[in-house]
Amino acid sequence: MAGPLPVSPLALKLPALPAVDGVRLAVGEAGIRYHGRADVLLAEFAEGTTVAGVFTKNLCPGAPVTWCREVLPGGTARALVVNAGNANVFNGVAGQRAVEATAGAAAKTLGVKPEEVFLASTGVIGEPMPAQKIVAVMADLAARLGGSDLAAAARAIMTTDTFPKAATRTARLGGVEVTIAGIAKGSGMIAPDMATMLSFIFTDAAVPSPALQAMLAKGVDHTFNCITIDSDTSTSDTVLLFATGQARNKPTDDPAHLADFRRALGEVLHDLAMAVVRDGEGAQKLVKITVDGAVSNHSAKKIGMAIANSPLVKTAIAGEDANWGRIVMAVGKAGEPADRDKLAIAVGGTWMAKSGGVVPGYNEAPVVAHMKGREIEIEVDIGLGQGRATVWTCDLTHGYIDINGSYRS
């Protein structure tokens, strides 16, 4: 990369972030790739912390993803180590050894079991992971654990991100107020070079790990799994949720009792996912696509993602062109039930196409004005059923080519 990227025009400011009881954080400079900035995060969790995780579906995952998948069924966590600069992907046996060395060092330093240490790495792939650089700063990180400076943590895990990402909510659970706070990084759905999506969410609630896992999986399905930058799928995407139990609510797995917690968790995940889209590589516009009238919610989401991933739709939006013809094409290529003659398309609330043709004499002025804005809304009515989904993406601009078409060195 040739110097830092300009901050995305869609960037959001960090919200005020609370401390989460039972979570202690420290960031440090391991110097893996970056210099003069924090590039490693250590989190220590109170005894009894439960954990849930969702990982990339990519079949060539990084060694840290394989590690987390192996230890997740244990259901408990005492530590998290995240580094930026090297993703430890496609390093063969050496990658596995680097993972074991990092987890082992954290476990020894904190006096916990290695299988209670979770790991995530983001950065270049196929370069040997210098785990010794993380091991070398472990004692110092442990000595400085304290407080809950989530803003510093959000910055330490950035790669090509142009702004740090965090979100927080409170919820009522078992008669007490609990806190949820999370951080994320990512500026493409992927980019094995640099732009993997990672998110870590912390709560002081007490929730058994199976219930935590169910809520996280469902929440991710409607948030992180409904965003796309370029259709590519990282080898390292990871979302982890840690619940320390320090709020002293009575643990429950009753869905009714967990309703407000689920709502708050969903909002945190939504905010973080939106922050990732807003930092899409080269993004100039945030695009919300709502598909209604599909034969099922699943079908609606597939159609939405076909629109969101279409290079032709995305370049049209970059050109501020409300090109509904390309949306028709994308609906048709999704492979889901659709009837050309029942399809309707609106941009910015104005229905441009209906019943298999352009709406005669529709007023183009509000559409033209809408396309010049930063936030674009597309609605598609398939006209066949009740299926509905909303997905988000960004436009495809020269900035994307600049970022991804440059030499690595």
DSSP string, 149-177: -HHHHHHHT-SS-SS-EEEEEEEEETTEE
Binding mask 44-63 for a copy of itself (x = CB under 8 A): -------------xxxxx--
Question: Contact between 362 and a copy of itself (CB under 8 A)?
Answer: no
Q: How far, in whole angstroms, is CA 343 from its chain's centroid?
A: 31
**Comparison of 155 and 285: residue with beta carbon closer to a copy of itself:** 285
- Find out whether 393 and 189 touch, Cβ atoms under 8 Å: no
**Comparison of 166 and 194: residue with beta carbon closer to a copy of itself:** 194
CA separation for the pair 211, 225 (Å, rounded): 20
- Find out whether 101 and 65 touch, Cβ atoms under 8 Å: no
- Find out whether 284 and 397 touch, Cβ atoms under 8 Å: yes
Mark the segment that binds a copy of itself (CB under 8 A) among 2-10, 167-175, 240-248, 351-359.
351-359
**Comparison of 205 and 376: residue with beta carbon closer to a copy of itself:** 376
Question: Contact between 358 and a copy of itself (CB under 8 A)?
Answer: yes
Question: Contact between 123 and a copy of itself (CB under 8 A)?
Answer: no
> Which strand ranges, in their side-by-side order, compose the sheet holding 198-203?
50-55, 238-243, 198-203, 176-185, 165-173
Binding mask 305-344 for a copy of itself (x = CB under 8 A): ----xxxx--xx-xxxx-xxxx-xxxxxxxxxxx-xx-x-
- By CB under 8 A, the count of residues binding a copy of itself is 70
Of residues 144 through 173, those in contact with a copy of itself by CB under 8 A are none
Binding mask 75-114 for a copy of itself (x = CB under 8 A): --------------xxxxxxx-------------------
Q: Minimum CB separation from a copy of itself for residue 337, in Å?
A: 8
Burial class of residue 365 (count of CB atoms within 10 Å of its CB; 0-12, 13-18, 19+): exposed
CA separation for the pair 396, 282 (Å, rounded): 7
- Find out whether 399 and 278 touch, Cβ atoms under 8 Å: no
Active site residue 102: no
**Comparison of 248 and 355: residue with beta carbon closer to a copy of itself:** 355
102, 196, 203, 235: which one is catalytic? 196
- For β-strands 344-347 and 117-124, DSSP reports them as unpaired
- Find out whether 151 and 14 touch, Cβ atoms under 8 Å: yes
Q: How far, in whole angstroms, is CA 304 from its chain's centroid?
A: 18
Q: Minimum CB separation from a copy of itself for residue 83, in Å?
A: 17
CA separation for the pair 319, 315 (Å, rounded): 6
Of residues 170 through 209, those in contact with a copy of itself by CB under 8 A are 188, 190-193
Q: Minimum CB separation from a copy of itself for residue 94, in Å?
A: 7
Question: Contact between 264 and a copy of itself (CB under 8 A)?
Answer: no
For residue 270, how many C-alpha atoms fall within 13 Å in the half-sphere facing its CB?
A: 11
Question: Contact between 356 and a copy of itself (CB under 8 A)?
Answer: yes
Catalytic residues: 196
Binding site residues, a copy of itself, CB under 8 A: 57-61, 89-95, 124-127, 188, 190-193, 230-235, 309-312, 315-316, 318-321, 323-326, 328-338, 340-341, 343, 353, 355-358, 396-398, 400-401, 404-408
